[in-house]
Structure 1
Amino acid sequence: MELSKLERYYLSNQLRILEALYPNEADELAVQREAVEQGYSFVYDMGMDYILDGNDAMTPEESKEVWEAMDMFLSIDRTIQDLGLEDLHKEHFTRFRGYDGNNESKFMGFAAFTVERLGRFTHLPLKEELYFNSHMPTRQIYERMLIEWRKIDYQHRFPMRKEDLMKVLEAAVHPEIRK
């Protein structure tokens, strides 16, 4: 990472303040500050492992995709309740399962952040309470379901008609293995 002398000055001052505010972390922060002040650019990233960038950071489009999937599952749940079709829970992909922690971790993290920190989608029907790791890839499943859900006029999504609900739920099954 390249930093100008002025950026290094600002960062050095911020690290000096943090050293004073957090005495238990002062030694580690002092090492980072010294690296910044001395221009040891190779070491700059060492203290920033928790700051995501590139493909690890969520784009606005990806964030909207997660929220749209959550909206869809709220709609599915409301429709099932309104139509008295609780038996569908046994046979279909009716609850939000989260995302795969190994392959879709930024999506999983954003879904958890949305519910736990932002307080949105708190009534989301989850497969397991406050558990967002599906342990299997789900993004493609959600994308297939969302294609069908987007075809429904917005005013008919909450709740859906039974035939629309079934199209959305059937889309969860990969096309190659549908009956």
Structure 2
Amino acid sequence: MKYSKFERFKMIQQMRILKALYPLQAEQYQENIKVLENGFELEIDELSDGLYEGLDRHGCEEVRAILDMVAVMQRSNENLGFPIPEEKVKFQGFAGNDHFAQHSYIKHLIDDTKEYEYIKGVLNSHNPYTFPSYQKMLERWRSWGQPHQMSAEKILELLDSQ
């Protein structure tokens, strides 16, 4: 990525502050300053290697809607006395390799914020087809008006729409 001189100047100032705050890493910060001062683009890009593209607002909303749908299926099944084997309504996760941003977001929502910690299931399906399957199920659930309670028949119909 190409940075303007002003952007590099700002990053240099930040590195100088970090160098002062963390003297044990001063040598690494000084190397980063040298890279930024000289505009070595390859090494500048390496400074942000740990950053990911992320997930836009629509993607976040879609993941939340999928988790809401799964929660409704699980809660409905429980309220009905588990007519459907619990294993069938467990969350199957998203493939970390194929849908990294969505997978990272569910990990954040379930493990970090605990906002969806009640979701039962796995987070990494290792299956590239689980996310598209959940998208199809979500489309069907939305076509029904996103009910907050479902019959066993509706749950099965939703599971079959994958």
Structure 2: unaligned runs, 5 residues or longer: none
Query: Which sits farther off after the overlay, 108-117 or 71-80?
Result: 108-117
Structure 2 residue identity aligned to 1:162? A
TM-score, L = length of structure 2: 0.89
Structure 2 residue identity aligned to 1:59? D
Q: Does 1:134 align with 2:125?
A: yes
Aligned-partner Cα distance in 2 for 1:113–1:68: 15
Q: Aligned-pair RMSD on alpha carbons?
A: 1.7
Aligned length: 161
Structure 2 residue identity aligned to 1:37? E
Aligned-partner Cα distance in 1 for 2:78–2:31: 58
How far did residue 100 of structure 1 move? Answer: 0.9
CA contact (8 A) 1:98 1:108 kept: yes
How far did residue 9 of structure 1 move? Answer: 1.3
Structure 2 residue identity aligned to 1:97? Q
How far did residue 119 of structure 1 move? Answer: 2.6
How far did residue 83 of structure 1 move? Answer: 0.9
Tell me the residue number matched to 1:175: none
Tell me the residue number matched to 2:78: 81
Aligned-partner Cα distance in 2 for 1:30–1:97: 46
CA contact (8 A) 1:114 1:120 kept: yes
CA contact (8 A) 1:148 1:167 kept: no
2:119 to 113, 118, 124: 124
Aligned-partner Cα distance in 1 for 2:83–2:24: 53
Query: Which sits farther off after the overlay, 30-39 or 19-28?
Result: 19-28
2:157 to 146, 162, 167: 167
Q: Are the structure 2 counterparts of residues 32 and 9 from structure 1 closer, same or farther at C-alpha, using a change threshold of 3 Å?
A: same
Tell me the residue number matched to 1:21: 21
Structure 1 runs (4+) deviating above 6 angstroms are none
Matching of residues 10-159 of structure 1 within 5 Å: 10-53=10-53, 57-90=54-87, 92=88, 94-127=89-122, 132-137=123-128, 138-154=130-146, 157-159=147-149
Q: Are the structure 2 counterparts of residues 25 and 86 from structure 1 closer, same or farther at C-alpha, using a change threshold of 3 Å?
A: farther
Aligned-partner Cα distance in 1 for 2:37–2:59: 37
Q: Are the structure 2 counterparts of residues 146 and 47 from structure 1 closer, same or farther at C-alpha, using a change threshold of 3 Å?
A: same
How far did residue 86 of structure 1 move? Answer: 4.7
Alpha-carbon displacement from aligned partner over 1:102-141 (angstroms, at most 9, x marks no partner) = 21222111110112222311211224xxxx2111121111
How far did residue 22 of structure 1 move? Answer: 2.5
Alpha-carbon displacement from aligned partner over 1:75-110 (angstroms, at most 9, x marks no partner) = 0011101111254324x3x11121112212221111
Structure 2 residue identity aligned to 1:11? M
CA contact (8 A) 1:152 1:164 kept: no
Aligned-partner Cα distance in 1 for 2:156–2:52: 39
Q: Secondary structure at the match of 1:48?
A: coil
Tell me the residue number matched to 1:176: none
TM-score, L = length of structure 1: 0.81
